[in-house]
Amino acid sequence: MATKHENLVSWLRDAHAMEQQAERMLTAQKERLHNYPKLRTRIEKHIEETLGQRETLERALTRLGSEPSTLKDMSGKLMAFGQAMGGMVMSDEVVKGAMSGYVFETLEIASYTVLIAAAKAVGDTQTQQDCEAILQQEIAMADWLREHLPELSQAFLDRSDTPGLEAKR
Amino acid sequence: MATKHENLVSWLRDAHAMEQQAERMLTAQKERLHNYPKLRTRIEKHIEETLGQRETLERALTRLGSEPSTLKDMSGKLMAFGQAMGGMVMSDEVVKGAMSGYVFETLEIASYTVLIAAAKAVGDTQTQQDCEAILQQEIAMADWLREHLPELSQAFLDRSDTPGLEAKR
């Protein structure tokens, strides 16, 4: 049993750990990308957004009398996610990377959707509005990745099929 | 370096491993769910769809002169994903479960989006059409889960806040 307030705080801490993981994954991806400049530029933009989101979550936790956990269960789970996805670094790295980026964005979309419901249930309008604003950024990034996936796959397949061109990153 | 045909076959095998993992995860979720009958019913429907999708992928691989791998790298990665998500079985299990179901659906959406591009690049119209049909089922399931997430979170929060009610599953 837990109060709505306790669940909200717990989910905000999950989201904070998730954004830290997002920052690590996006930075690692960005640094490896060479031949797909459009994707790299979009990732750079989203890293900036991610930093702002983390700060917003920190303010929400402070308002609710809590703070980000330094080591919460969720972190470990997300690290496993990162390893599962990060482990996909292989011959089709750029495609798997964009896929995993999209999938991680949808984890964020799910998290903020749940947080908005929880903030509403508690009557915390500020947190609700903050999460609604972040959700729009996550949706925009997820949509961008999904919409560019066919074009990126095509570019990868062409490079992969051409002697002398590096395709994977 | 790899031909387009080789990349298509490799991605079809990834998708086949993914559908096997989907079947395992959905079945495990369904069996644990008690207090959220609408979610359980939707999962049951999608398990049926998932079995059909796996068979469609097997036919595509046979057509292309290949077969499903019994143990491919992707399986291991997906198992890590399953564990990462499965490990979320905790006090808010039903919410994390629906979130992870949604996230897994979007992995499937990404996979079929890439496969459609690859089938097009190879000129394999049958595989392209099959993957387009599967993609629609995955989108429908992902949309259902995302749309029901606020209502499900609300139901969980209410149960969790009520003495004597089991909330988590």
Chain B 20-59, residues with CB within 8 Å of chain A CB atoms: none
Q: Residue B133: which pLDDT band, with cuts at 50, 70 and 90?
A: very high
Task: Say which of A4, A77, A142 has its CB closest to residue B84.
Answer: A77
Contact (CB<8Å) A83/B87: no
Give domain B4-33+41-64+81-160's CATH number out of 3.40.50.150, 3.40.50.2000, 1.20.1260.10, 3.40.50.720. Answer: 1.20.1260.10
Question: Taking 80 as the threshold, does the pLDDT of residue A86 lie above it?
Answer: no
Per-domain residue ranges of chain B: 4-33+41-64+81-160
Determine the Cα–Cα distance for residues A96 and A62; give it in Å rounded to an integer: 37
pLDDT of residue A80: 56
What is the enclosing helix (H) or strand (E) of B156? helix B125-160
Give the per-residue pLDDT at B168: 86
User: pLDDT confidence of A83, banded at 50, 70, 90?
Assistant: low
The percentage of residues in chain B with a pLDDT greater than 70, rounded to a whole number, is 88
Interface test with A, best of B77, B90, B120, B146 (most A CBs within 10 A): B77
pLDDT value for A14: 92
Whole-structure pTM value: 0.89
Question: For residue B89, what pLDDT is reported?
Answer: 53
Residue listed under structure tokens 């979550």: A57
**In angstroms, how far is CA A62 from the centroid of its own chain?**
22
User: Nearest CA to A119 among A61, A52, A68?
Assistant: A61
Give the pLDDT confidence of A102-119 residue by residue, as tens digits.
999 999 999 999 999 999
pLDDT tens digit string along B71-106? 554 555 565 555 555 545 578 889 999 999 999 999
Helix ranges (DSSP H) in chain A: 4-32, 37-63, 73-86, 93-122, 125-160
Instruction: Name the one residue in this structure whose structure tokens are 């644990």.
Output: B32
By C-alpha distance, the chain B residue nearest A100 is: B107
Please check the confidence at residue A75 and state whether its pLDDT lies above 60.
no
Mean pLDDT value across chain B = 89
Give CA–CA dist B148/B133, Å, rounded. 23
CA torsion angle for A91, A93, A95, A98 (degrees, to 10)? Answer: 170
* Residue in chain A lying closest to B100 (CA): A107
User: In degrees rounded to 5, what are phi and psi of residue A165?
Assistant: -105, 135
Q: ipTM strictly over 0.90? A: no
Nearest CA to A97 out of A27, A18, A14 is that of A27
Please tell me the predicted confidence (pLDDT) of residue A81: 59
Instruction: Work out the average pLDDT over B6-31.
Output: 93
N-to-C CA span, chain A: 48
- What is the nearest CA distance from B154 to chain A, expressed in angstroms? 6
Instruction: Give me the CATH topology for the region A1-23+37-61+93-163.
Output: Ferritin (1.20.1260)
What integer pLDDT is reported at residue B72 of this predicted model?
A: 52
Instruction: Determine the Cα–Cα distance for residues B126 and A19; give it in Å rounded to an integer.
Output: 41
The kind and range of the H/E element at B61 are: helix B37-63
Query: Can you tell me whether residue A130 is helix, strand or coil?
Result: helix
Query: pLDDT tens digit string along B24-35?
Result: 999 999 999 989
Q: How many CB atoms lie within 10 A of CB B62?
A: 11
Task: State which residue of chain A sits closest to B157, comparing Cα positions.
Answer: A4
What is the distance between the alpha carbons of residues B162 and B164, in angstroms, rounded to a whole number? 6
